[in-house]
Amino acid sequence: MANSGDGEAASNNQPSPETIDRIIATIYGQCIGDAIGLLTEFLSKRDAKLYYGTVAKELEYLHKQIVCDGHRSRWKEGDWTDDSDQMILIMRSLVDCGGKVARYVWDENNRNIAPNGAVMRTSIVGIHMYWSLDDVTKNARDFAKTTHHDPRCQASTVAVSVVIATMLQGKHKDKKGKFRVKDIIRDAYEYASTCLETDKEKKDLMFYLKCDNIKNLKLDEADKIGYTYKSMGAGFWALKQDDFRKTITKIMMQVQVQIFTFSNS
């Protein structure tokens, strides 16, 4: 695949003020979604409604005190979790491990585990070298494989990173300046599907990328809440929505899965 980018998006050029704003928004969006998502993380949909139903229209950090369990008490009000900590570590450093430990764990589990840890920290990878989708893809795969070797973990990480890079490039806008989400998803699939081998695997990826009904993602499905495609799918569903706050709230009230959302603004 050829590198993608416009005149502005060259590696030796200063990004425009608009692009810098988007970069900052991506980092803030990661941490805000992480911090507010902690309110319902690992709760069932039923329990989320039970505890937060009366305040669900305007969820705030202070509502964390409603559920003072062992999980939520590990963080102060408004804190993000280790997912954003790892994103910040990636932002500060390059990972030079060859992923051998991650591959061993994957092999020992019959190559059947695909947790969401890699995709939860990947937003910064879409910012670094955003002018080249080939480089973004390679970096996303390398970072994912360090701890999450399953091809689905790599594919979901690439998909999210490519979307961020594509939007930073300012690609796929209509005459009104709004992003054409279907075209962005097409690019994400094109790059992410290179991580997969079979048609079945690629079909599964496409389902989560294109899903328009959040209920079909089954975000609180028993024994699968950590599945990487569920977190990715929630992010891509959010990309199709118009209101950032309402979107995060709707995901939170569905869910036990960790939240990652794009800021389509």
**Numbered residues of the known binding site for Mg(2+):** 81-83
CA distances from 86 to 33, 52, 89, 198, 239 (A): 15, 28, 5, 31, 23
Neighbours of 263 (CB within 10 A): 18
CA distance 53 to 38: 16
Report residue 246 as tokens: 């309402």
Q: What angle do CA 236, 225, 70 make, to 5 degrees?
A: 120
Report residue 196 as tokens: 């997969």
Q: In which residue are the tokens 């790892």 written? A: 86
φ/ψ of residue 115, rounded to 5: -75, 170
DSSP 8-state symbol, 219: T
Neighbours of 40 (CB within 10 A): 30
Question: Binding site: residue ranges?
Answer: 81-83
CA distances from 169 to 126, 130, 155, 172, 186 (A): 11, 7, 21, 9, 15
Enumerate residues 6+ apart whose C-beta is below 8 A from 203: none
Contact by Cβ (8 Å): 249, 56: yes
Neighbours of 252 (CB within 10 A): 24
